[in-house]
């Protein structure tokens, strides 16, 4: 059992998010400062593994981040990927679909943003919005969104077969922590821009979203594309967990630097 398996959801597991503690710090190497120090070490390992993936240039890694509003998606990207080579990272934040995207099937817009070989792709929100927000807000009928679970599984199985490892992270925060983060955004002028009045309406449907997330995770966590439920109330613990998972996945991928060209030992630079 690897360290990352602590948060991994096995296939065919019925998930109830009420069984997961958002403020957990289980397994942390110590308190806040000790865990932050351990995270720094992990991020150095992550940078080295990413350099090998980029050089190997035959496979890719896709990281899917989902969370309730203020769940920490932006902060996770900023912290965990702070030391990697930006040339080898492709990050996309998916917003409400535009007219062109709505004119295609729901997977079209994410297919266009998949990482190239050698890259790490980061999806801040993703194709999962099409079984989450569309379900809770009743944007499409159930006979439209429910078949998408099987479409998503098939899509991700295909990507894995083509050499893209997939890590799906649900950043699990409590309703109380969300309230504190909303208040911080309202009280800090530098964070006002992050607050959307519509988020308050979404918050009223918290329980509905928890049910939708739980079913999405239950139905789409597979060996090829597993979900991880990350306790995210404590940002320092969240960062350590995400770094632990990504290092674990990349170490299993074990990307290698290409063999050097023959005759390099005879090259002289004058």
Tell me the per-residue pLDDT of 63-109, one tens digit each, with 9 for 90 and over.
999 999 999 999 999 999 999 999 999 999 999 999 999 999 999 99
The 10 Å CB-count burial string (b at 16+, else e) for 117-147 is: ebbbbbbbbbbbbbbbbbbbeeeeeeeebee
Distance, in Å, from the CA atom of 94 to the CA atom of 179, rounded to the nearest integer, reads 23
Query: What are the pLDDT digits (tens) for 154-201?
Result: 999 999 999 999 999 999 999 999 999 999 999 988 988 888 888 888
Confidence of residue 212 (pLDDT cuts 50, 70, 90): very high
Alpha carbons 146 and 131: distance in angstroms, whole number: 7
Tell me which architecture the domain covering 3-255 has in CATH. Answer: 3-Layer(aba) Sandwich (3.40)
């Amino acid at each position: 059992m690897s360290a990352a398996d602590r948060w991994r959801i096995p296939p065919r597991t019925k998930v109830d998010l009420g069984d997961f503690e958002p403020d957990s710090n289980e397994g942390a190497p110590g308190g806040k400062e000790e865990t932050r120090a351990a995270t720094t070490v992990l991020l150095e390992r992550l940078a080295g593994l990413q350099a090998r993936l980029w050089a190997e240039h035959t496979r890719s890694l896709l990281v899917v981040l989902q969370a309730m509003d203020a769940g920490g998606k932006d902060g996770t990207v900023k912290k965990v990927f702070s030391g990697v080579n930006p040339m080898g990272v492709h990050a996309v934040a998916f917003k409400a679909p535009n007219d062109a995207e709505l004119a295609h099937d729901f997977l079209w817009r994410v297919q266009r943003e998949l990482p190239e070989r050698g890259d790490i792709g980061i999806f801040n929100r993703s194709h999962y919005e099409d079984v989450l927000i569309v379900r809770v807000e009743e944007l499409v009928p159930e006979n439209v969104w429910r078949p998408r679970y099987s479409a998503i599984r098939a899509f991700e199985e295909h990507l894995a077969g083509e050499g893209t490892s997939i890590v799906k992270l649900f950043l699990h925060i409590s309703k109380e922590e969300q309230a504190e983060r909303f208040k911080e955004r309202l009280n800090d002028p530098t964070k006002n821009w992050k607050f959307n009045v519509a988020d308050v309406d979404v918050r009223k449907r918290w329980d509905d979203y928890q049910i939708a997330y739980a079913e999405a995770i239950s139905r789409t966590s597979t060996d090829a594309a597993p979900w991880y439920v990350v306790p995210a109330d404590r940002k320092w613990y969240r960062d350590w967990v995400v770094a632990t998972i990504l290092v674990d996945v990349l170490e299993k991928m074990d990307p290698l630097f290409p063999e050097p060209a023959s005759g390099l030992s005879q090259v002289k630079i004058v």
